[in-house]
Structures are given as C-alpha cells and as structure tokens.
Amino acid sequence: MADFAHRLQALRHEFHQNPELGFQEEWTKARIARHLRDLGIETHEGIGVVGVLRAGNSHKAIGIRADFDALPITELNEFAHRSRNEGVMHACGHDGHTTMLLGAAELLAKSPEFDGTVVLLFQPNEEHGLGAQAMIDEGVLRNFPIDEVYGLHNLPGEPVGRVSTRAGVICFSESLFEITINGQGGHASMPQAGRETMTPAAELVLALQTIVSRKLPPSSGAVVSVTEFITDGQRNVLPGHTLLKGEVRAAAPEHRKQVETHLRQIAEGIGVSHGVDVSVEFRTEFIEAINDADAASHVIEAARTMGLEHDGARPSMTFSEDFANFAAQVPGCFLLIGNGTEGAHAKPLHAADYDFNDELLETGARFWAELAKQRLPKGK
C-alpha cells in the first residue's frame, strides 16, 4: 500500500525534524497522543504515552514498546527532513521506532483481527536508561497489566528487515563508576613531602584491567574502561586530588557484581599502599536485557510468517537498553531489525550522519501487527 508507506514516511520525517532530549519530549508526546486519538485509540498520557487496543473476549494482553527521545548531537545530514533543533538529533532511529509502532496501531485499529488487548508503550528517555523505570514507577504495568512485552532496535549495516534475536541476554548492562582519591599535593620537586594522587591513580587505571583478565571467566565478555582522569595538578604542582571515571559492561548480573566487588577491593588496597583516601561510587544505569526463550521464539515465528530473513541465535549486543526494565517485570523479547547496508542507513548508531531507513517503516509496522495477531489469536 503505497499510501500507507507514504504517510509513515511523512510522519517519521516530522519526528526527525523535531527531536527532543530525554524527559523534555513534550512536543513528541503530544504528537504521538494526537495520532493515536485520530485513529480512535484509547490514549493515556503520563511520563510516556500509552495506547490501548481491545478486541474479542480474551483477558490476555501483550505490550509493544517504542522509544522516542533524541540525542545531544548536531546533525550533519543535509536532506530536507534534517533536525530543526540545533544540537539535537534523532541519531539512533527512535523516530523510526515510534513511527513503526504508530503504523502498527493503525493496522490493528482498522483490522482488529486479534482476541485480547494490545498495549502500545511509547517511552521517553531511553538513552539515559531512565524512561522505562519511570513509567513502571508511575504504574504503567499496574494500570495496564500485560502478559508479554516486546521491543526492537534498528541495526545499521544489516539488510533491511532482517530480524535477529536470542534467548537469554540480548544486551549488556552498563554501570558507571567514579573513584575519588584525596591526599596531599605539593611541589613537583619534593614528592616525598606530600601524598600526591597521580601515581596511585595511574596504578588504579592499570590494575582495574586485571579484573576481567584475571578475576572473571574468559567467556564473560565483560569490559572495564576508565574514560576520564581528572586532577588538580599543574605544571610543577603534584595533585592532591584525582578523580577517575569509567564504565563497566557485563552480560550477566553475577559478573557485574563481581566487577564491582573487585573494583572496590583494588581501589581500597592501592589507597592503603599509598596512604591516600579512596572512595568509590558504582551505580548501574542499565541492567542486562534478558529475553524469555518462548517470547524469542514467537518473534522468530512472526518473522518467518512474513517471509523476513531471520536469526534466532544472534550474539548478544554489547550496547545497553532500558527495555530491560520491562523484561525484568514480565516475560519479554528485544529484537534487532536491519536498517540497511548503504549510505546513512549503514552509519553507526549515534553518528551525526546516520539516518533511519524509511524502507523499514512499513515492514516494521506490519511485523508488529503480525506478532500481535499471532500472540492474541482469534478463535475459530
């Protein structure tokens, strides 16, 4: 249906031109809600937007989630639908994710060939890992109970519409750490007179790499990275204060907890050996996204029915996704869908010259509609 595809493209371009950062998406939320109401769909606005479609008599309900926040990136693309908000850009395809789910809403509303309830979850602030939990804390799963939940992300560099997922961990967790070292600064020519913090900090940077190489199984896939090294030193002044910042990625909760334990032990030990005070802050921004095996099989079955290329045993992704918070509450599946292999569609996510592939819009909308019909089948 060329008209359907054209309308989805126009809607996606509208979202792309008006990007908003996490928890600032007032225009985006209003636009989503207006579109749902125009379709005659029951709509609820809160931290996010929820659409509810009911048909038949079944009490079974499934949830489908799409994210709609953008990133603090200045767009380099020059096409007509480039961002109008300087310094803000849909560089991750959330404009496409939202449009696909709105397309599915239209298909299901016009042809309610299902028995049960489809809850459409439009979520803010995925990029900071805060939106899903905020909606849960607000009561979205209590007010709109669901038995299963599904979400997706486009994947640049893979053929358009190729569906891939896996049972178990699909996305790694992300934890941020800050290590503060306080001692006594002094003159660079007389280090013995103080307790400078540059040397213990440098030791820490190297020692933290032994956590993965010596404390965890080789197959863990965990990553520990120090990303910032900040001191109050000068040309001839030894620092008395140093701050190290970094992040940890892990594929399993137990490995994440082991990393935290060893990080604290190493930091404390180096602090004692140098006679400096060390404090550690470790917080997990994104938990691991863990797919239910049955839900993953349902995703592959829907892809197979549509004739889409599919892979039910793809490797885990090292990036993080706060869909994980929904999947921690009810059985769920997060999947990847190919965004294309050429041009802006193959650029890395978060690149300033990336763009979502409009060819994927109708495919994604029909995929969600097919999955809903399969999971809520009408009786004969």
Separation CA 168–CA 149 (nearest Å): 15
* Residues 93 and 114: beta-carbon distance below 8 Å: no
User: Binding site annotation covers 350?
Assistant: yes
Residue 51 region by backbone torsions, left for phi larger than 0, else alpha for psi between -120 and 50, else beta:
beta
Residue 284 is inside which H or E element, if any? strand 277-286
Partners of 223 in the β-ladder: 249
- Three-state secondary structure call for residue 52: strand
94 annotated ligand-binding residue: yes
Q: What long-range pairs does 183-187 form, CB within 8 A, spacing at least 24?
A: 183/240, 183/241, 183/274, 183/275, 183/276, 183/277, 184/240, 185/232, 185/233, 185/237, 185/238, 185/239, 185/240, 185/241, 186/237, 186/238, 186/240, 187/236, 187/237, 187/238
97 in a labelled binding site: no
Strand-pair partners of 178: 245, 281
127 marked among binding-site residues:
yes
Which tokens sit at 246? 């970094």
**Residues tagged in the binding site annotation for Mn(2+):** 92, 94, 127, 153, 350
**Residues tagged in the binding site annotation:** 92, 94, 127, 153, 350
